[in-house]
Amino acid sequence: MAMSVGGEGGDETPMSDINTTPLVDVMLVLLIIFLITVPVVIQTVPVALPKVRYEATTTKPENVSLSVRGGPGDTCEVYWGLQKVNAQELLERAAKKLEDEVKKAGGPEAITEENMPEAHIRGDVNTPYKCIGGAVFTMQRAGFARVGFISEPPPGGAVTRL
């Protein structure tokens, strides 16, 4: 870092110009650093979200309709139809319902995909996951192989099939 003391005319006055070489060097280094680090920071992870589609449910008499909601004090309320049941009653009623449907169909060998009873669970947005998961687990434990969720169509009218 030298300082020029003289000029062409021979006067001994120092130069008042700023030496910009160190500034340019620092800016070039910062530019290179940002060019290298920005693509690393902006990398995204591709996430495949499920395609939601609305299909009208066909209600069969052998299907079980459950409504699940969060109750007071961090509890869960499960309704079989319109009757409130606890976890043990839900398990017993579901096992009995499945057993009756299997007998009505003519035994386990007569059960097919079409006549197998399903459990339909309805829960709103504010229902805790543990309540919905507990109902699904209880219905699977009772022997229901098909457990589905009842949802609302998207707001705004027409529904398109995917």
More reliable by pLDDT, 9 or 59: 59
CB atoms near residue 55 (< 10 Å):
8
Pairing of strands 83-85, 76-80: antiparallel
Q: Is the pLDDT of residue 13 over 70?
A: yes
Supply φ then ψ for residue 48, to 5 degrees. Answer: -95, 105
Q: What is the pLDDT of residue 25?
A: 93
**Residue 160: C-alpha distances to residues 4, 49, 53 (Å):** 78, 17, 8
Closest CA to 66 of 77, 55, 58, 74: 77
Q: What is the pLDDT of residue 47?
A: 64
Q: Where do the domains of the chain lie?
A: 64-150
Q: Give me the helices (H) in the chain, please.
A: 21-41, 87-105, 129-142
Closest CA to 120 of 47, 60, 64: 64
Amino acid at 19: N
pLDDT band with cut points at 50, 70 and 90 for residue 3: low
CATH tag for 64-150 (out of 3.30.420, 3.30.70, 3.40.50, 3.30.450): 3.30.420
Q: Which residues pair with 148 in a beta bridge?
A: 120
The per-residue pLDDT for range 100-130, each reduced to its tens digit, is 888 888 888 887 877 788 898 888 778 888 9
Amino acid at 16: S
